[in-house]
Amino acid sequence: MACAFSPLDPLAPGHTLVVPTRHYGDVFDTPHDVLTTTMELVQRVAGAMKTALGASGVNILNASGPGSEQSVPHLHFHVVPRWLDDGISTWPAGRSEHELAGDPDARLAEFLARERRYHRS
């Protein structure tokens, strides 16, 4: 249900892409079981990077939806091995300028609580 391969232009030695074998555009339209299987492979690849490559950590990168800078319309996760002082940064350098009315944390918590009750029924 998922596969792993090296990208054409890796960010670091061992950089790997993990994708579901069937087409799904992004995290929003991927069925739960496919996402679970794909993330299990992400975890296996990350563990291999730590053990086989001596990585001290990994970055797992995904962009889903037009506001995320998603450039390939197929769900995929970049698993990038990292070492201390390796010279790259994958963390955003700035903050969003988008503003929302009210408390976004409270809105999310309320929505997730309602959704959880709905799924338990």
pLDDT reading at 58 higher than 90: yes
* 100 inside domain: no
* 110 inside domain: no
Mean pLDDT for the chain overall: 93
- Enclosing domain of residue 34: 2-88
Number of domains in the chain: 1
In this prediction the pTM is 0.88
Sign, CA dihedral 71-62-50-33, equals negative
* 63 inside domain: yes
Please say whether the beta carbons of 18 and 79 come within 8 A.
yes
Give pLDDT tens digits for 80-89: 999 999 999 9
Active site residue 76: yes
Which tokens in the block code for residue 57? 């950590």
CATH classification at residue 43:
3.30.428.10
Give pLDDT tens digits for 63-96: 999 999 899 999 999 999 999 999 999 888 889 8
76, 78, 98, 119: which is the annotated catalytic residue? 76
* 99 inside domain: no
Q: What integer pLDDT is reported at residue 96 of this predicted model?
A: 86
